[in-house]
Amino acid sequence: MIIKRTINFYPNKGKAKGDGNAPLRCYIRYNNISVTINLGYNVNINGWNADTQRCKKNTAHDAQNIPAAYINKQINACEEIINNCFEVFEQKEQVPTKDELKELIDIRTGKKKEN
């Protein structure tokens, strides 16, 4: 079984600060279910490439001037974790609920401990 899904990354412009930085979000859509995850970084809206869904090269983000390459690595890692979580459910032949997917992602990212 393969679960068709889309995984998109974007800055939440609605919560942008005065310095042009906005929280980085991941939006997952599958089986008419939507899940949004905050990645814990703020990206400069002017340094974001909407087509590639990554930070533009040689830009700095957040108040700490985090390099684009570092944030892009974190985005790639997050995307890989999400795809691995879906593979777990695909092997079980099960479409996860929103809560089941979020819980497994939180466990895999270390935000939550496994029971």
pLDDT score for 112: 75
Give Cβ neighbours of residue 115 (< 8 Å, ≥ 6 apart).
none
Reported as a single tens digit per residue, the pLDDT across 69-85 is 999 999 999 999 999 99
pLDDT score for 74: 95
pLDDT score for 12: 92
Kindly state the average pLDDT of the residues 91-109: 94
**Confidence (pTM):** 0.89
CB burial of residue 44 (10 Å; 0-12, 13-18, 19+): buried
